[in-house]
Structure 1
Amino acid sequence: MKISKKVLIISYYWPPAGGPGVQRWLKFAKYLPDFGWEPIIYTPENPSYPIVDETLLKEVPENIKIVRTKIWEPYQLAEKFSKGNKKYKAGQFDVGKNQSFMSKLSIFVRGNFFIPDARKFWVKPSISFLKNYLKENNIDVIVTTGPPHSLHLIGLGLKKEIPNLKWIADFRDPWTEISYYKHLKLTKSSDQKHRNLEKLVFKTADLTLATSYTDAENFRKMGANSVCITNGFDTSSFVEADRYKSTKKKFSLSYVGVLEQLRNPENLWKAINELLTEHQDFEKDFEMKFVGRLDDKILENLKASKVGKHLQILGYLAHGESYQEMKNSDLLLITNFPNDSSKGIIPGKLFEYLSTGKPILSFGPREADVSKILEETKAGKHFDYSEIESLKSYILKIYQLWKSGNSNSENANIDAFSRRNLTKNLAEKLNILVTE
């Protein structure tokens, strides 16, 4: 298709950044040319990524234009205060009794001195650079994607400089409604600053994208012109996965990604411990596999339980390898924050889970968007953090299907979540913006 329009994507995360934050716009950039849009990436020259995955560089579209400028970030100081702990870069931190004095101090500083976040120092230089770049290169639409939500302040500044500029604010996660926000130890003044900036972004952006249905509805209530375009899967990135089929003889429950204290499914560990005690065959066949980053406190507690004898800790793997581990698993675990305000969070890896055909075990608040997707696709079951007996029954059901050689899920209606179809939806929104 002939390219006729340009969209500038302002993103902190871009390969070689690893983890889920980079996937959304990497995939949109891949397929946008199919629908008449040329993507141009604006990203930091010297970012401080919590995870690096060099293999993702192979997925960057050929000939894509990437514009880079330098950024200053205070994370070297934060790591020094927290003895090398890099959780803060990824928006993670210890909670409750696990917090040391330095951890509490770091959280207070992060929430009150860096509003909205520690990448705020890139905002003014970017506005200064981009206001000329946009005019010189005939950009039709800009996109800011957060977190980090400081990138939306770049959109605000550019909109002020160029009032007729079309701007999409993409929220991969909510701002003040995300679960860890209440743990930031904010003063009343700081809380108000966060909320005022969020409202200003919602009211100023021409379109606000949400990654879940609930988030889009909540954003509309706060004044945004918001629509939902979820994350998705792109199986073309994993064409060799089937070459690595496992010959293992274990029943694998696998978690792929970062598991932090705020999303720790303690009722699952209790249920598994009971199953290991009550069912001799299950105890013989079971393995619990973690691919990615597992919180030290969670790992310590698991090792002290019956689950400890069945652990496989693989650490962070390249994106393609982690997908192979999903394909080689028998039951895939996904967790969300337990409170009702997190109903709208749909972790990006859910869609890659869907593409594997493996059953999915989900945790989070009742009536969550994840639950709706699992019901719609018949791909798994969602539980809240209090259920035990029904959870044990479900795990046993999947285990017995595995024993009989039939553990795949039905997985209906998943094509709507392919990255190409989602990009088509985005292109339609872009086309509407430039004709308004």
Structure 2
Amino acid sequence: MKRVLMVAYHYPPVQVSSGLQRTLAFSKYIREHGWAPIVLSANPRAYANVSTDQLQDIPSDIPVVSAFALDTSKHLSIGGRYLDALALPDRWSSWWLGGVWSGLRIIRKYKPKLIWSTYPIATAHLIGLTLHKLTGLPWVADFRDSMTEPTYPREGARRKVFLWIEKRTVHACSKAIFTTPGAVEMYRERYPDLPSDKWLLMPNGYNEEIFSEIENVDSLGATQSLVREDGPITLVHSGVIYPDERDPKPFFQAISELKKQHKINGKGLKVILRATGHDEQFRPILEDLNIQDIVNLETGIPYRDALKEMLLADGLIIFQAANCNHQVPAKVYEYFRARKPVLALTDAAGDTAKTLADAGLTDIAPLDDSELIKQTLLAFMTKLKSGSAAIASDEAVAKYSRQSAARLLAKWFDAILQSKVQ
């Protein structure tokens, strides 16, 4: 078994919606293809929320090292304020010190053949870059989403640091992996001096093993739902709703207007927004619009319970702004596997809409257009009531298994080692 050092901030016991599932699945399934992982993560003190519910999913023979790390906002602030320099490139910049030290110890002990690091915590790529420079080991940078866009990060020190990390990462790594075709193409154009085969596409996905476990234990069927014959249609969004990138206010406005027009009410529609991460910001808006009887802000729950809620819902919701057109929320692929109709509030020209349309899901409206959201929501509800709402095609479901992705990742790792030998 060849060893790979996997550098990932998001790994159990951190509690996030779907951010840790990619690394967790890779670390588990890549072992079936000749690679033994050692995971370098952060000390749990650095996590905003901790949960033990997915520790059971880490195979007992995978070494997991939790390196020294602090969250600047929690540990280095006074009265809730801290120096911006202490949070560059992110609030977990102290993890670089602990990660490099622990990474070198891991490399001496386990002698991995390759390093893999994963964004969206930029410090992870800093650790990968430093370990690569110090040891000469080949390095694969899993960007997932683009690190920089024309308007992200905003102008200032953080943008300069992100651009610095991005440039050095793409020039030093053997391969750079992205989750959407749009991101791959953007980086090809941004760095035309680099070979075109440096850029690799690996979408996010779902874990069939966990879905099957839930279905077997709970005897869930594809047609079951949270709704009873006389109950409301239930729509669910599971995970963080960023106020800028997934702004739900036009959606809230659409629901408010439909309620005033007596086209919907709390007896006919229930919207569950699970673990938004910004409940305190959204709650006053719901109260001002008088729609808290329809839209429910619910707290986070264990991952398996969240998947079960998806399986039992009538429909699932996606929020994604046009400034994220090169991204696809990871939950989209879990929605596919749940085989539930999807209401997507996103730009029709973006990768999210294209991914949904390719899977046969076309109930899409712009995130920022409350009038079109009203029309699309009413049509979506009509389809749900009649049983005619589309679900993801079997081809789309089969395409996005994380087990298949781990097989491909191992193949790429093998090819990198082979190229070094030649």
TM-score, normalization: structure 2? Answer: 0.87
CA contact (8 A) 1:233 1:352 kept: yes
Deviations 1:360-397 (A, max 9, x none): 12223341111111111013433223434443333222
Matched, 1:257 2:239: yes
Matched, 1:420 2:403: yes
SS of structure 1 residue aligned to 2:94: helix
Q: Distance in 2 between matches of 1:142 and 1:77?
A: 29
Amino acid at match of 1:34: E
Q: Distance in 2 between matches of 1:292 and 1:427?
A: 33
SS of structure 1 residue aligned to 2:239: strand
Q: Distance in 2 between matches of 1:129 and 1:409?
A: 46
Amino acid at match of 1:192: K
SS of structure 2 residue aligned to 1:227: strand
Q: 1:159 to 1:386 in 2, by over 3 A?
A: closer
Instruction: Give the counterpart of 1:432 among 407, 415, 419.
Output: 415
Displacement of 1:316 in angstroms is 0.5
Match of 2:175 in 1: 207
Matched, 1:273 2:256: yes
Matched, 1:364 2:364: no
Match of 2:64 in 1: 66
Q: Distance in 2 between matches of 1:119 and 1:74?
A: 6
CA contact (8 A) 2:180 2:328 kept: yes
Displacement of 1:252 in angstroms is 1.2
Structural RMSD (CA): 2.5
Amino acid at match of 2:156: L
Amino acid at match of 2:170: F
Instruction: Give the counterpart of 1:191 among 159, 181, 185.
Output: 159
Displacement of 1:141 in angstroms is 1.0
Deviations 1:1-43 (A, max 9, x none): xxx3111101112111121221111011121112121111112
Matched, 1:237 2:237: no
Deviations 1:23-82 (A, max 9, x none): 111011121112121111112234421232321111112321223332244232467634
CA contact (8 A) 1:116 1:194 kept: yes
Displacement of 1:200 in angstroms is 0.7
Q: 1:383 to 1:404 in 2, by over 3 A?
A: closer
Q: Distance in 1 between matches of 2:392 and 2:329?
A: 21
Displacement of 1:406 in angstroms is 4.7
CA contact (8 A) 1:303 1:309 kept: no
Matched, 1:12 2:9: yes
Match of 2:201 in 1: 228
Match of 2:310 in 1: 326
Match of 2:87 in 1: 114
CA contact (8 A) 2:5 2:38 kept: yes
Deviations 1:222-271 (A, max 9, x none): 43622111110113213224446535421012211112321213322222
CA contact (8 A) 1:357 1:379 kept: no
Instruction: Give the counterpart of 2:37 among 36, 39, 49.
Output: 39
CA contact (8 A) 1:6 1:38 kept: yes
Amino acid at match of 1:12: Y
Amino acid at match of 1:338: A
Amino acid at match of 1:199: K
Q: Distance in 1 between matches of 2:277 and 2:71?
A: 25
Which is worse superposed, 262-271 or 371-380? 262-271
Q: Distance in 2 between matches of 1:422 and 1:284?
A: 42
Match of 2:299 in 1: 315
Q: Distance in 2 between matches of 1:252 and 1:178?
A: 37
Match of 1:302 in 2: 286
CA contact (8 A) 1:256 1:292 kept: yes
CA contact (8 A) 1:7 1:141 kept: yes
Q: Give the number of aligned pairs.
A: 401
Instruction: Give the counterpart of 2:140 among 168, 172, 176.
Output: 168
Q: 1:130 to 1:404 in 2, by over 3 A?
A: closer
Q: Distance in 2 between matches of 1:401 and 1:157?
A: 53
Q: Distance in 2 between matches of 1:23 and 1:80?
A: 34
Amino acid at match of 2:214: E
Amino acid at match of 1:328: L
Amino acid at match of 2:314: D
Which is worse superposed, 122-131 or 288-297? 122-131
CA contact (8 A) 1:12 1:148 kept: yes
Q: 1:337 to 1:401 in 2, by over 3 A?
A: closer
SS of structure 2 residue aligned to 1:422: helix
Q: 1:410 to 1:350 in 2, by over 3 A?
A: closer
Amino acid at match of 1:21: G
Match of 1:287 in 2: 270
Q: Distance in 1 between matches of 2:290 and 2:71?
A: 42
Q: 1:364 to 1:403 in 2, by over 3 A?
A: closer
Amino acid at match of 2:179: T
Matched, 1:217 2:185: yes
Q: Which has the higher helix share?
A: 1
Unaligned runs of 5+ in 1: 83-101
Displacement of 1:416 in angstroms is 0.9
CA contact (8 A) 2:343 2:363 kept: yes
Matched, 1:127 2:100: yes
Amino acid at match of 2:343: L
Match of 1:337 in 2: 321
